[in-house]
Each structure stands twice: as structure tokens, then as C-alpha cells.
Amino acid sequence: MGRDMGTVEQSIVIDDLAEPRLTDIQRQAVDFMASRPVRLDVGQMFDEAAAVAGHADVGDPTLRERVAAHAAAVDADEGLTNLGRYTVRQRIVRLLRNRMSLTDLLKRYPEIESIPIEKPFIVVGMPRSGTTHLVNLIAADSRRRALPYWESQEPMPVPGEGPGASGIDPRYLRSQAEHDAMLMMTPHVAAMHDRFPEAIEEEVEILDLDFASYVLEWHARVPDWRDYYLSLDQTVHYGYLKKVLQALTFLRGPRAWVLKSPQHCGQLGPLMATFPDATVAFTHRDPAAVVQSAITMLAYGDRLRRHRVEPEWLAEYWTDHVHRLLSACVRDRELVPAERSIDINFRDLNGHEIPLLEELYARGGVELTAPARGAFQQYLDSNPRGKHGRVRYDLQRHFGVTADDVRRRFDFYFDRFDVQPEN
């Protein structure tokens, strides 16, 4: 049985996107942190991470410089609430602790770096272009190793910590608690991008252990950080990503990976140098719809992160961000061999997935077995589009630009790929 295309979706209207009306629980959280200054002292954050990891070795003497640039960019963002700053600070400490734990693991088991990462499937496309749907779908094939959200946030176990009486990994339990808190604070996130613990996440989250990715741009307004990480030799940092994947393979199973990240659009050279035998699925969508969806999600979260939402800033920055990524994708698309790649239109990720998967598997030289087909169909039947409701977007009302205003900057993309404007 195919997906029930007649499912009635809940329509979600966020009428206070630009001028948020905080709920009592949101106001309490913001007010609680308001009188608690948050310092992003690099030395102190390293010390806190080392206290949990049991040592301070991060395996790279240049890392401190990148962490300092990371922290300085956040400090330059004067619009963050203390709650927003605290969230970023906690993330930095967590990244450092995981980095230290990985360094220790590699010292004890140097054979990890000889583990092959062979013939991965990699999904590459803009945020909000169907990449999450596609990677979760491919991950339904039990022969594939994927990165669930709980593992992306804490890829390395805390030293000395193991499952309790329940037998459940404490990292999973922490992720579940964070997810429950997120839905309580910002319930409409589930309809935009539900990061529940088992959901397959982007490996850019673990690339961030090397402090060289675009993740921080989703948490703060950090153009200085963008310019800094784009100036780095990303081939080096993608090499570190591979090292993390090798460690995760060592810890939890030797299977072929399925990966995905929008950042890869701008780094196809480093991506293919690191994973030369990958098969790549590119997703394509109207850039106006991509920008609209991304900035609506960001603006909704900004009610807690920021003193003011500033929707016009979001529209300009993220239109430029998407323009940079798509310009690089058009420029470098031929770096991925045609015989090991496919291009997928967003409209086909709503009822036409199986033929696309047949083509992807054929190009990857992987048999599409009956159990895999069954798992794909089960996933599709269980995850109809709009499962958590669908947000009604309004670019002009909330952000002061029209879809046509955005599209005018992307003629080069419409000319290169089979993409149609969305209503």
C-alpha cells in the first residue's frame, strides 16, 4: 500500500513571528537567565570539558585558535539573550569533551584510523529541500549505518558512564529529555524539523568537533565566523570528519554509511577527496521556498535566543547564504561523477521516492533487496508529509520580501537544474 495522500494536515499559523508573544514558560526561561551573565572564556571551557573527559588532549594544537574565533564571533553578536549565549556555551563545552574523548579512544585503538568508509550514500542539498526526508528513508535499509540525533550530539560516551538499570545509553536519555524540553518551549519545531533522538541527523554536527563548520550560523548571527571557516582548508576538516566516522563504526557497527548535509553543497571538492567512491543524491528545490522555510524556523527559535527577531536581517543573510551554497554547487557539480550521482527534484519526494531509490542504488552498485523495499515503504507509510502539521509561510508579511525578490538572484540555478517555482 502506498502513502495515504488524502491525509488531512493541520495548518499551523504563527502570527507573532516578527513580534513574539512569549508564553509563561518561555518568559520564565528567558527571565531566569537574564541576570546570569554567560562568559565564553576559552580556557575555562577547555577546563570544564577536561574535567569530564579526564584529560585535556584534543589531538590538534591549532584547535584552540578555532575555538577562540568561534567564541569571539558569538561575543560580537550583541543581540543574543543570556539563554541564547548559554545554549552556545554548553554546546562548545560538549564539543570539546567529545573531542577529548575521541582523542583518547584513538590513542588506545590506533587501528580505528585504518577502518574503511566504503561506498557511502551521501545526500547533498539545501536546508529544507528534502534532505532530511531522503536520508531518513535510506536509513530505513538496515544494511546502512546512519547518524541518529542522540549520537550526533554526543558521539563519544562519557568516560566511566554506562547504561543504568534500564539498559538504555544515557546519551539517548539526555537527548530525549532535551527533545521533550524543546517541544515544551517551542512546540511548532516538530512541524519544521523534528530532531527526536532516533531521527537521522547531519554529520556536520560531528564535523563541528573540529570547529570548522557552518553549524554556529544556526545558533547566532556570526558573519565573522562564516568568513573565518570558509577561509580554512576544508579538505583537512573533512579528513577529521572521516576519522570520527571511523570511530563511530568501531564503536557501533561496521556497515556502509548514509550521510547528508547542506554544507556539502559548498564543499564538493573536499567531500569527494575524502569519500572518492561515494554515490551522491542531490536534492533541488525552489530557492525562495528554501529561504522561506529556513528563516521561518530560525525566526521562531529566535524568540528565545534573541532580544529582537529582526526578520529583514534573516531574509538577507540567508538568501546570501543559500546563494553562496548553490553557486558553489553549480560550479562544482561535475566533480561528482555522473555515473555515481543523481539529481532529485523536491516535488518527487512526495510519493515518487521508490523509483528514485532504485536509480540511486543502481548507480551505487548496491542491490535493492525485497527487505529494503519493504522497509522503505513502511517508512513512507508511517511518515506522511505534514505528519506534525504544516506551517503556513508568508515571506512578504513576516520578512518584507516576496518570493520573486528572492528568485531573481538564482537564475543561474534555475538554468542549470530542473527546478520550478513553488506557489
10-residue stretch averages of pLDDT, the chain, 423 residues long: 44 90 95 95 98 97 98 98 97 98 97 96 94 95 95 95 89 94 88 86 95 97 97 98 97 92 97 98 97 95 96 97 98 97 93 94 97 96 75 90 96 95 86
Buried b (16+ CB within 10 A) or exposed e, 149-177: bbbbbbbbbbeeeeeeeeeebebbebbbe
Residue pointed to by grid coordinates 549520537: 151
Buried b (16+ CB within 10 A) or exposed e, 34-68: eeeebebebeebbebbbebbeeeebeeeebeebbe
CA 314 – CA 320 distance, rounded (Å)? 10
Q: Following DSSP, what letter does each residue of 154-210 receive, concatenated? A: --SPPTT----TT---HHHHHHHHHHHHHHHH-TTHHHHH---TTSB--THHHHGGG
Contact between 193 and 390 under an 8 Å Cβ cutoff? The reply is no
**pLDDT at residue 9, rounded to an integer:** 57
Sign of CA dihedral 370, 125, 213, 333: positive
Helix/strand/coil for 384: coil
Amino acid at 179: H
**pLDDT at residue 189, rounded to an integer:** 84
**pLDDT at residue 250, rounded to an integer:** 96
Q: How many CB atoms lie within 10 A of CB 259?
A: 27
**pLDDT at residue 243, rounded to an integer:** 97
Q: Give Cα 176 to chain centroid, integer Å.
A: 18
Q: Give Cα 118 to chain centroid, integer Å.
A: 22
**pLDDT at residue 197, rounded to an integer:** 92
User: What's the CATH number of domain 11-156+168-416, 3.40.1160.10, 3.40.50.300, 3.60.150.10, 3.40.50.2300?
Assistant: 3.40.50.300
For the whole model, what pTM was predicted? 0.93
**pLDDT at residue 410, rounded to an integer:** 97
End-to-end CA distance of the chain: 30
Closest CA to 213 of 46, 70, 56, 61: 70
Closest CA to 267 of 220, 306, 324: 324
Q: How many CB atoms lie within 10 A of CB 393?
A: 17
Sign of CA dihedral 264, 270, 274, 280: positive
The residues pairing with 342 across neighbouring beta strands, listed in sequence order, are: 281
**pLDDT at residue 164, rounded to an integer:** 81
Q: What is the DSSP letter of 262?
A: G
Amino acid at 319: T
| Number of residues written out for the chain | 423
Domain boundaries, the chain: 11-156+168-416
The three cell numbers locating residue 279? 554515490
**pLDDT at residue 33, rounded to an integer:** 96
**pLDDT at residue 6, rounded to an integer:** 41
**pLDDT at residue 195, rounded to an integer:** 84
